[in-house]
Amino acid sequence: MSLYADEIIRFSSVLKISYNLIAGRDELKRMKLREKKHLISVALPFSDLIYGFPNLVPVFPIRMHMFNISKYLSYLGSASNIFGWDNVSKFLGFVKNAGIEEISKIIDEIIDDVIETLNQKYNEMYDIGVERGISTDFCFALKTLVGMHVTKSKNVSATMNYSIRCSAWNKYLESLKSIDDSVKDIWLDIPPRNIGNSIELLQDNIRSVINELEKLSGHSYSDNTLREHFKTTNQIRRDYKTIIYDIGASDIIPCNPATFSEILALLSLSFQDYNSNAKRYAENIHQMVNEMRERIRKGLGMDVSKYHKIMVTPMFGGWEPKTHEIIYKLGGRALYADWDVLRFLEDIPISNRRDPIEAYAYFLADITENGIGCDNDILTDSYIRVAKNLGADGLVFNQLFGCHSVSNCYRLLKDKIRKDLEIPSMYYTFNRIGENVEQISTRLGAFMEMLQ
């Protein structure tokens, strides 16, 4: 029996987000070829400016690939066009309840394979990145991103490049030109500190990016479009936080903890480009909140008060996806909240700033100063903040091979955890998916034992 499928199919919102993530290739193709839209490659949740133009489409490049299970998901997609996702979800639930074995097995395979199939593709991209000659010292994320660009940059008109404090990241962005020099690279430099006139400078840099996007799009920039988009993404950020904290960290959750972690992993991946359609993503994640609450209200949730809450981080640059299943089997529940650690879940302050460019500048300055671009002292404070808000009983740190920026602060973090939180923590090293599962499992086993 599947650990995930039985429950995931009850959430039509999860089916929709999975479908848009994995089977987005056809839709992207249609937008590019028939609707003559420009696809713009993005990585990390930096897609917002692109949404200011009607014919520009941000895409996290792995989504342009064909996945093994796309075919089956496409059948579900076609069914949803006729019956709607809610009915597809009900039908799948009916099949599972009725125990129609053959179909039930296929459903298990489709749903279980969403994250699994993505991981296979990630490893494939990693190998292509390595073959391309990228420094072996680079982290998993950068190797896979190179692989994604080697295989798919022919489909994109531009890459959206944000400089962050990680020098390897900036080097990777610079290397994209050598993969395909016909792809335009659009750079947004973010001053490392919010001092002096850095906000004005950042606004100028944002305006230059907007000029570049205008040239590409052929449409003029409009304050209103960007303002409306920021309102939409703020709603996404709030719903995302509700799922992590109000629902995920409570004693009754809507499904088993491993499924819940799987949903958090799905959100973490898809949040980077909102599956190329922010309004649709906003509707889906809002529906997810409602569906989760509804299950809890109807008494269909699971009492997890005895399961230890384990914050697992950082995972955005690559992590072993078996982690949450292992933790669940050992009596815990893994919670992923990287985007909040890095401050991407803060509102873009559009409600108190009329000019969306100014609002976005403040948002980026905050991320840079207090999240992804900050120094290790502030970053470790951010880990502590999130662990506190989650009420975590333990913290598992994923030390990425090759990461000298975000993953190298465990020693400092450990001291702070001991002092400020008084909870146990551990780290494991990660290089490539599936490479280290046994060792991770043994280490997690000893760690969870300590919590009993």
What is the binding site for ligand SF4 (CB under 6 A)?
139, 141-142, 166, 168-169, 317, 400, 403, 405-407
Nearer to ligand SF4, 80 or 405 (CB): 405
* Smallest separation, CB 268 to ligand SF4 (Å): 13
* Smallest separation, CB 147 to ligand SF4 (Å): 14
Nearer to ligand SF4, 4 or 162 (CB): 162
Cα 295 from Cα 172, distance rounded (Å): 44
Nearer to ligand SF4, 314 or 356 (CB): 314
Place of tokens 């995920």: 248
Cα 172 from Cα 135, distance rounded (Å): 10
* Smallest separation, CB 20 to ligand SF4 (Å): 25
Whole-Å CA distances, 388 to 39, 74, 249, 334, 336: 39, 41, 11, 15, 14
- The two structure tokens encoding residue 90: 């009900």
Cα 119 from Cα 113, distance rounded (Å): 9
* Smallest separation, CB 139 to ligand SF4 (Å): 3
* Under 8 Å between Cβ of 314 and 395: no
Cα 409 from Cα 277, distance rounded (Å): 35
Identity of residue 397: F
CB-count burial class (<10 Å; 0-12, 13-18, 19+) for 27: middle
Beta bridge partners, 161, equal: 187
Nearer to ligand SF4, 125 or 406 (CB): 406
- Listing DSSP states for 30-96 in one string gives HHHHTS-PEEEE--SS--GGGGGSTTEEEE-GGGGS--TTHHHHHHHHHHHHHH-HHHHHHHHHHHH
Nearer to ligand SF4, 281 or 336 (CB): 336
Nearer to ligand SF4, 105 or 171 (CB): 171
- Listing DSSP states for 218-266 in one string gives SS---HHHHHHHHHHHHHHHHHHHIIIIIIITSSEESS-HHHHHHHHHH
Nearer to ligand SF4, 164 or 243 (CB): 164
* Smallest separation, CB 372 to ligand SF4 (Å): 8
* Under 8 Å between Cβ of 323 and 443: no
Residue 48: Cβ within 10 Å count:
22
Nearer to ligand SF4, 139 or 304 (CB): 139
* Smallest separation, CB 436 to ligand SF4 (Å): 17
Nearest to 298 by CA among 98, 99, 10, 84: 10
* Smallest separation, CB 131 to ligand SF4 (Å): 19
* Under 8 Å between Cβ of 57 and 165: no
Nearer to ligand SF4, 89 or 313 (CB): 313
* Smallest separation, CB 170 to ligand SF4 (Å): 9
Nearer to ligand SF4, 88 or 142 (CB): 142
* Smallest separation, CB 320 to ligand SF4 (Å): 14
* Smallest separation, CB 408 to ligand SF4 (Å): 8
* Smallest separation, CB 169 to ligand SF4 (Å): 4
* Under 8 Å between Cβ of 150 and 129: yes
* Smallest separation, CB 296 to ligand SF4 (Å): 35
Cα 199 from Cα 361, distance rounded (Å): 6
Nearer to ligand SF4, 4 or 383 (CB): 383
Give the nearest residue (CB) to ligand SF4: 317
Give CB contacts under 8 A, 24+ apart, made by 33-39.
38/156, 38/157, 38/158, 38/216, 38/217, 39/64, 39/155, 39/156, 39/157
Radius of gyration for the chain, computed over Cα atoms and rounded to the nearest angstrom: 21
Nearer to ligand SF4, 14 or 128 (CB): 128
Nearest to 370 by CA among 236, 190, 208, 241: 190
